[in-house]
Amino acid sequence: MTIAVKYFYAHTVFWLLLPVSAVQGLWLRKNAIRLPEASGNKAGVCGRGKSLHLLALGDSIIAGVGITTVAGSMPVQFAKSLARAKQCSVHWRVNGRNGADVAHLLAHVNDFSDQKADILLISIGVNDVTGLSSIKHWRHQLTELVGTLRQKWPNARVIFAGLPPMSRFPLPPQPLRFTLGLRAAIFDSNLADIVAKQDNMYHVPTLIDPTQHDFCEDGFHPSAASCSIWAEELVKIQKDDNLAV
């Protein structure tokens, strides 16, 4: 099924289910558990050897929502796994914000342009789905973000974490869960399509699934144990390649 057909299907189903989904969405915003961002230093070093610099930007996954300390967050576990795989030291910095969407990241990416980065790790998109952003708007802003990242860090490897399978999240009721999952899958297909056209950029599908892996009590964010599994998936594309250390 082409992206155009998927878009038409998702668009049609979304509008048909919108009256019920909208009511459920309002209920969810009012009653959902709100977990804090991870506490602790937002920068550090792990491993020994030649240096790599990792800069992680984006949403609650980068901020470590639901995880006690930054050390257990996905970006830092990725840094630790990368240091082991490459036998190097990884200087990491995380700049995430709970609730951030692609527009927020675009508005603030220049705040971090003085940060050195050999690898950029980006997590964005879930809040665009829940915020009812249009697919056209998502593609437009994502294309702008890709261009900005390349301009600011021309030599960095850029890794986009794929949107999660929201249709399997335990928190949203049906049919809201179905519509969120459908739109998340379409957004992720667009993300993969845009990234595939860029040099030294990667879209890594998110395989963390609440039906198979541990999630936080809010039913929306992966636990530290699941973030460790996720980090290992991200490291796989860094092995046996030409990433200089």
Q: Which residue has the tokens 């335990």?
A: 170
Domain boundaries, the chain: 3-236
Model confidence band, residue 33 (pLDDT cutoffs 50, 70, 90) = low
pLDDT at 66 over 60: yes
Helix 176-196 crosses helix 135-152 at what angle (to 10 degrees)? 40
What predicted TM-score, i.e. pTM, was given to this entire model?
0.86
Per-residue pLDDT tens digits for 43-64: 999 999 999 999 999 999 999 9
Going by C-alpha positions, the residue among 138, 150, 145 that lies closest to residue 3 is 138
Going by C-alpha positions, the residue among 95, 101, 185, 173 that lies closest to residue 137 is 101
Cis check for the bond before 175: say yes or no (omega within 30 of 0). yes
CATH class of 3-236: alpha beta
Cβ atoms of 171 and 220 within 8 Å: the answer is yes
Per-residue pLDDT tens digits for 187-217: 999 999 999 999 999 999 998 877 888 888 8
Say what the pLDDT of residue 14 is.
61
Per-residue pLDDT tens digits for 105-122: 999 999 998 999 999 999
pLDDT at 28 over 50: yes
Instruction: Please give the average per-residue pLDDT across 130-139, as a whole number.
Output: 88
